[in-house]
Amino acid sequence: MGVQKVVSCLSTCIFPDKTTYPIDETMIHNGPPHTSNFGYSYAKRMIDVQNRAYYEQHGCKFTSVIPTNVFGPHDNFNIDDGHVLPGLIHKVYSAKQNGTALSIWGTGQPRRQFIYSLDLARLFIWVLREYNEVDPIILSVGEEDEVSIKEAAESIVAAMEFKGELIFNSTKSDGQFKKTASNHKLRKYLPDFQFTPLKRCRKPVTGLTVTMPRPESEEMAVCTDKVLDVRAPGEGERCP
């Protein structure tokens, strides 16, 4: 069909559950993934296998990227299948509206790296135009920018001025404790790329508000605009 290049999206969930950290692109197939992501992870891994096979047999320059947790405009606020930050925002909003405690699954100790969606979009375009390896590449902020679910939740609670009780339900599974990813390979290509930071403090950083899509109600739209106010002053030029 004349397709010159395909860029597929993998996930940090595909890496082995028992591994050393930080994880990098060479470690994808080093062992079984976490049991909570068994089917999904192996399906994603097979994309890498397919890319390699197409290259060896047909010379196709098909590749894949591995982003960490994404947040930003046009997010999915569905609690059942949304990403971490919008899911937390929805939970805080619901607890505030209903006057109930905020219950979060697990201990809050697992750690994650978050990448702003517009940063990820810029990197996708770069991969499409400039990255010519078949091997995958991790698209992520640095290891030093990793935060706990507890830190993320407390930042959202503060930003939305939720005054109720915050409960971490330790009877529920934490899932994979961490998936600390190295962006060393990316930095070799783009040493000066500037990520929009999700600050590691518990209170949201004042700065230019990230515009979020309108969720199910006007009130929730106001809340989400306020919560994802995560850029430091002077950093707004990188995002509309």
CA torsion 73-75-77-82 (nearest 10°) is -150
**Residues ≥6 apart with Cβ < 8 Å to 59:** none
CA 150 – CA 111 distance, rounded (Å): 9
Q: Which of 21, 40, 54, 189 is catalytic?
A: 40
40 is catalytic: yes
Q: What are phi and psi of 112, to 5 degrees?
A: -140, 155
Cβ–Cβ under 8 Å, residues 25 and 136? yes
**Could you tell me which residues are beta bridge partners of residue 166?**
102
Across 14-101, where does the E strand assignment appear? 61-67, 69-71
Element (H, E) at 92: helix 84-98
Catalytic residues: 40
